[in-house]
Chains A and B, each alone.
Chain A
């Protein structure tokens, strides 16, 4: 399962060689840029959620 997933990741990046870029913006020309951005954005979202959770999480019987 893990191997399949890692192969899919590699394929998705390498496939960028095969397609012609149609960028709106210059940043889209960076090789593997979408992959990096997807990972970074999600890591940031998880970190924000974690931090907010420390502040706002309550036991789920809070309103009972």
Chain B
């Protein structure tokens, strides 16, 4: 039996299109559960070895770090599949399983070639998830998304090829920024992490997916990038700076945003920023914190997006200006959304608290005062943009008069499952800590830590309500760097095309003359009576071949 968890999901993706009704239901839920069981039970070490083009590969290798990510990806595939069971667009779940399976494939890859292969399959799977929305806007956004990710894949290919050429080794291990190929690999990883300045693909494309599609999208691409950064570039100082930019970029753009799921998309960039900072600090505590934060983040961000997706499904609306007051008829969706919001804000007794604080602790232990201060400010900012803003504008604020029903049972069950996990991991965090790559004695619940965190968060809540007037929602979007390729580049291209056609028009007369001459030549050679167009007897070919062979023989004698 194949014991690679990712391939089970890929196989299920191939099977699902042919199933309907109960069989589809069983496979959709059983495949991720099987993957989860395998990921939890598989032994450490290299399981598969292979030879390819003279390189020795290890496509299936397990250690504590890869197990952690394989576990959370399998768990997420299960929760997502449960949530998406009633999705009318059947393609989406197949694409999502291909996507999740290949993300697991990356985390279990022992060599860079396997990483690259699964990396590309992931790009295809995720693009298909976006295209499952089957809207014109979704198609265009998916195309832009694919372009960015194929570009990232190209960077990765060039980097891996260079690395293998230089070192002769394909193993995926820690790298330093000492060669161009390692810079290329880092750049490719950062594209998928949504690192600024290559972050705009994320809020551009993800919110165009269906109500269930974005739940899957939020989990895998960016967290796979966190995994490869954890393995490949721990302790790279540059990442601290990149992470800090991501953290504040995410907050500021989310504060300006009106689309509820785009708020959460910017918030993904913000959260991945915390993890990237942890990877940049690079101590055992920091790396544990980054890994733990990726784990908890997948659960609460999926929960937030399930809550937003439920609202989108039952109301058909996505803008904060059109929503509000939904708590009256959707109390369960609101409650689950609030649990997710508290967890992302790292309130005590939620999962975010036990993971994010490890990163701040590591910054403190290393006496990185500025980083530590900025992390505290960013923690307050998370509560501001995701913790209060999202639930407030969707479920409270003015009453929009909408009284939609709660979503179907499977969606409620998925939300309840994740909400329970968010609280369970916040209270009973030891199992998560045992899964982390390094042994830890960290104790998140000290009196001082709880009180200081509550002060930080509650007073950022106060700032939200005091300054609510400045946060009023408007029917706007905020320009991001995707403006360069969505507006500036097409305009420049149109201008260039205009210039070119003008230039052509002026040289048209000369051009026409040349064209007529070429046309005449082609007609002479290939026309009905042309040399190449005539019907030749087949004996002529024999003569031709013979003369060629003769010429070869002669040249052999002459130039030997």
Binding site for B on A (CB under 8 A): 5, 8-9, 12-13, 15-16, 18-25, 28, 32, 34-39, 41-50, 52-53, 56-60, 62-63
Contacts and interface: CB of A to CB of B under 8 A. Distances in A.
Nearest to B467: A46
Interface of B: 248, 251-252, 255-256, 258-259, 319, 364-365, 367, 369, 372, 376-377, 380-381, 384, 446-467, 470-471, 474-479, 486-487
A63 B486 contact: yes
A61 B189 CA distance: 32
B458 A12 contact: yes
Contacts of B467: 42-43, 46
Contacts of B248: 45
| Most B CB within 10 A of own CB, among A5, A12, A52 | A12
A57 B477 CA distance: 6
Contact of A45 (B252, B450, B465): B252
Contact of A36 (B251, B451, B459, B470): B459
Contacts of B381: 41-42, 45
A57 B478 contact: yes
A22 B479 CA distance: 43
B477 A58 contact: yes
Contacts of A53: 256, 476, 478
Given A24-B364, A49-B252, A52-B252, A60 B452 contact: no
A16 B384 CA distance: 23
Contacts of A38: 376, 380, 455-460, 463
A45 B258 contact: no
Contacts of B258: 60
30 contacts: A5-B465, A8-B458, A12-B454, A15-B451, A15-B454, A16-B452, A19-B447, A19-B451, A21-B448, A22-B448, A24-B367, A32-B455, A35-B458, A37-B377, A38-B380, A38-B455, A38-B457, A38-B459, A41-B460, A42-B381, A43-B466, A45-B380, A46-B470, A49-B251, A49-B255, A49-B256, A58-B477, A58-B479, A60-B475, A60-B477
| Most B CB within 10 A of own CB, among A24, A42, A57 | A42
B252 A59 contact: no
A52 B456 CA distance: 24
Contact of A57 (B463, B471, B474): B474
Given A63-B486, A63-B487, A43 B451 contact: no
Contacts of A60: 258-259, 319, 475-477
Nearest to A6: B462
A16 B447 CA distance: 9
Nearest to B384: A42
Nearest to A36: B459
Contacts of A63: 477, 486-487
Given A42-B459, A46-B255, 8 more contacts: A9-B459, A12-B459, A23-B448, A32-B455, A35-B459, A41-B381, A46-B467, A49-B252
Contacts of B380: 37-38, 41-42, 45
Contacts of A44: 377
Nearest to B365: A24
Contacts of A28: 452
A58 B364 contact: no
B31 to A, nearest CB: 38
Nearest to A42: B463
A24 B285 CA distance: 15
B455 A59 contact: no
Nearest to B453: A34
| Most B CB within 10 A of own CB, among A9, A23, A45, A62 | A45
A21 B460 CA distance: 21
A18 B459 CA distance: 19
B463 A46 contact: yes
B462 A39 contact: yes
A12 to B, nearest CB: 4
B478 A56 contact: yes
Contact of B461 (A5, A13, A18): A5
